[in-house]
Amino acid sequence: MDSGNLAWSVTATALVLFMTPGVAFFYGGLVKAKSVVSMMMMSFGALGLIGVLWILYGYNMSAVDSTWGFAGNPFSDFALGSLASSEGSNEALLGVAYGATFAIITVALISGAIADRAKFGAWLVFAGIWATLVYFPVAAWVWGGGWILNLGTTLFGDHSPAQVIDYAGGTAVHINAGAAALALALVLGKRIGFQKGNHKPHNVPLVLLGAAILWFGWFGFNAGADWANGLADTGLIVLNTLGATGAAVIGWIVVERIKDGKPTAVGAASGAVTGLVAITPACASLAPGWALLLGLLAGIVCALAVELKFALGFDDSLDVVGIHLVGGLIGTLYLGFFATDTGLFVGGGFEQLILQAIAALGVLAYSFVIAFVIGFAIEKTIGFRVKDADEVAGVDLVVHGESGYAIGEEVPAEAMR
C-alpha cells in the first residue's frame, strides 16, 4: 500500500465511523424532546460495544473457508493478537478497522425502529447477540467467501459474468438492518398514542445536521473500499453517490408536495438518506444516468413506503423499514436490470436479477427471524420495553438520568450549596 492509499484508507475509516454519530443526530432530532438522549445513546452504545466485539471475534467470523460455511471460527485469532504481530500486517489491520465501522453503523440503524420505548441495557444485549448471530455471518456470506459471494458460480457456472453485486452493503447493511428493525418493532409493539401525526420531530435542524453528516461520511462508505482496487472506480463511485442522493431528495419532496401540499426539511433529509441507501450496493456498477434514475425512483417509492406502518399497523418509529429495508431492496434489485454489462436492460439476461433477488430475500428472511427470536427472548426475560408511565414521562430521565435540554430548568437547592 503506497502512501496515498494508506492516507485514503485511514480517511475512509474515519468518515464511516463519523456516520454513526450522524445517525445519532438524525434519529435524535426525529424523536420527542424527552427521548433525544436515549435515542442518541443507542448509537453511541453500538459504537462502543460492536467495535469491541469486532476486534475480539467478529472479524474472525467475517470470512469463511468454504462456500457454504456459516461463519469463520470466532476464536481462530481471538483479539487479533496473531494478526497484529505478523509481518506486513499494516494493510490487514486497516481493513479490520474499516470493517468494524460497517458493523457498528449496521447495528445503530436498527435502533430507530424502537425509539421512545426501549431499555438501554436490553438494547445492548440485543445488539451484541444480533451482531454475533447475524451481521458477522452475513458479512462472511456477502464479502468473505460465503454463499452469496459465490452464488453466480454456483447457479450458472464458472464462466457466468453475473455475480451478486453488493459493493458497499445494500444487502449486508441496509436490508439486514431493516429486516431486524421490522422484527423489533413487532416485538416491542406500538408507542402510546401511535397514530399518524401524533409523533413529530422535536428538532428539525438536528435532523438536517445528521443527514448532512451521513451524506459526508457516505463517500468513505461507498468509495472507501476502492483502495483495494487501486482506486480504479473511485470517480464513478463518488459521482454516483452524489447524483443518486440528489435525485432522491427531489423525488421525496415532489411526492410530499403532491400528497401533502408542502415539501418539508425532514422529507428532504429522509430523501437524502434514501438515495444513499439505494446507491450503496450499486455505486460501482451503474452508469451515472442510471444512478440518477435509481435515486429518483428510490425517493418516490420510499416516500410512499413510510406510510405503510400506518396501513399495516406496525410502529417503526423512525422509518427504518421504509427507508433502509425498502431502499436497500430497490438498490439491490435495480442492479438486476441496469448493472453495467450484466443487467437485463444493458446487455445481460435474467441471471443478475435472479442472483440479486435470492441474496436480498435470503438475508431479509434470516435477519428478521433471528432478530425476532432474540428480541422476544429479551422481552420475556429481562424486559425490552420500558413501563408505560416511563414512556409518558420520557425515557431520558428514567433510563439515563439526563435531559437533552436543561435550559430553563430549576437548579436543585442542594446543588447550589
The span from the CA of 232 to the CA of 236, in Å, is 9
Residue keyed to cell 482496487 = 229
What is the reported pTM? 0.95
* Per-residue model confidence as pLDDT tens digits over 200-259: 899 999 999 999 999 999 999 999 988 777 778 999 999 999 999 999 999 999 999 999
The span from the CA of 93 to the CA of 107, in Å, is 22
Please answer whether residues 166 and 148 qualify as being in contact, where contact means their C-beta atoms are separated by less than 8 angstroms. Answer: yes
pLDDT at 415: 40
Domains and CATH numbers, the chain: 3-402 (1.10.3430.10)
What mean pLDDT, rounded, does the chain reach? 94
Which residues of the chain are under the pLDDT cut of 70? 407-417
385 three-class SS: strand
118 phi and psi angles, rounded to 5 deg = -110, 145
The alpha-carbon radius of gyration of the chain (Å, integer) is 21
130 three-class SS: helix
* Per-residue model confidence as pLDDT tens digits over 370-383: 999 999 999 999 99
- What is the distance in angstroms between the CA of the first residue and the CA of the last residue of the chain? 60
